[in-house]
Amino acid sequence: MLQLTNRKVLVLGLGDTGLSLVRFLLRHGASVTVADSREAPPHATRFHAEFPAIQLHTGPFQDQIFSAIDMIAISPGVPLADPHVAAAVARGVPVAGDVELFAIALGSAAKVLAITGSNGKSTVTEMAGAMCRTAGLKTTVAGNIGLPVLDALMEAEQNGMPDVFVLELSSFQLETTSSLDASAAVLLNISEDHLDRYAGMEHYSAAKNRIFHGSGVQILNRADARTMAMALPGRQVETIGLDAPTGEHDWGILKQDGQQWLAQGTKHLLPISQLPLAGLHNAANALAALALCRAIQLPLAPLFDALRHFKGLPHRVEKVAEIDGITFYDDSKGTNVGATVAALIGMPCKVVLIAGGDGKGQDFSPLAPAVAQHARAVVLIGRDGARIGAVLKNCGVPLLRAGSMEEAVQFSRQQAQAGDAVLLSPACASFDMFRNYVHRAETFISAVQQLDMEHQH
């Protein structure tokens, strides 16, 4: 049981999660102080209006705010390696994130389906949420996808518990989580991402692995060796992949009469042609969502129904326009190499790829085979465009450098042929040129619309 009454808790970070931590801790009787290393945190005005009596420290962390505290409640954006946090941990001060507090407070009041991975997790989370709702369960989708888990829990405490929480969890959230006991959890994939925060891939993988604490069903990607290494003894393990299922409980793709089918074991479940979302990576996402929902014994018919009606999420290989037989796709959410490789492989035609931005220390070399096989040309943008160009120089496709998104769209149109796709899938963060990945997408869409208008005249 969570005992927070009169405990002195320091909340670090004042984003959406930080605000939810403050609300939750106050509701449970804690004495709260807040600190954010930014001089002007995004929610400072809202915080002062909602909590006028609570002290907010801004700017670089100072030693004195870490003295005489019983606990640190940490936002996902604040690294555990921060020297002040590390010193407090060394003194024995417990550190918890929002997912840990959620797990302890929830206990067994509702089922939890948990989703993590470098790529695809938002799509799988929304798919699984839609499936649970279609199967008649009262469902709350929360976590890294938007609604903070503690806000979701407090709403549920007031208005009645859902049957199931479907949670998208990031590695940053999982770092501080040890009490989550999900009915089923999936680790979709691990590709190089956030290596600016982690000591290396082993450290990053270890954070993701924390989703499997507890006793629920483990769902693993059999094409990903790092993921498969996380199978635990004594646990029910099911695998997903784009090949034929390896065992009766595993999920994959079978071919019959020239059609590809989603399958479990030897059972043909649903033709891929009935999925409204393009790309094999979305078939993989559908398999992950099916595995999660079957782990809590939901019947198949409503799950298929949900899949047939699932429209997908914005900025994830989203069709923007078709001009002169060339289809333009926005995959601005493709912020790492793995996402861009998946988007390229999933396209049924030749692709002119727009890529580049802030590479976050990634190794870009896995792009080369996918570009060599699927790309017509690559247009490079942003700070690390040249680094991407260096690993693609022997791929046998033209590489062009653009100074702006508008120029990138113009160059792509010139390189593409009828029947091709132009794909914005940058494999990078956006902060070198844009406010965020949504702003990058908006700039791309507006440039495509401008092109469309010029074409019509």
8 is catalytic: no
* Amino acid residing at 154: M
* Amino acid residing at 63: D
How far apart, in Å, are the Cα atoms of 218 and each of 88, 238, 292, 301, 337?
34, 6, 9, 23, 25
Say if CB 430 and CB 315 are below 8 A apart.
Answer: no
Sign of the CA dihedral 246, 250, 251, 254? Answer: positive
How far apart, in Å, are the Cα atoms of 188 and each of 108, 136, 168, 444?
25, 26, 11, 28
What gap in Å lies between CA 118 and CA 421, rounded to an integer?
Answer: 24
Kindly name the residue from 121, 208, 281, 333 that is annotated as catalytic: 121
- Structure token digits, residue 164: 């199931």
Which backbone phi and psi does 227 adopt, to 5 degrees?
Answer: -70, -45
424 Cβ neighbours under 8 A, 6+ residues apart: 328, 329, 330, 331, 332, 354, 408, 440, 441, 444
Question: What are the DSSP calls for 179-218, one per residue?
Answer: ----SEEEE----S--TTTSSSHHHHHHHHHGGG-SSSEE
Kindly name the residue from 43, 84, 144, 374 that is annotated as catalytic: 144
- Structure token digits, residue 198: 């982690």
The H or E element that residue 271 is part of is strand 267-271
48 is catalytic: no
144 is catalytic: yes
Q: Which residue has the tokens 């996918």?
A: 370
| 396 CB-contact burial (10 Å; exposed 0-12 / middle 13-18 / buried 19+) | exposed
Kindly name the residue from 194, 281, 315, 374 that is annotated as catalytic: 194
Active site residues: 121, 144, 194
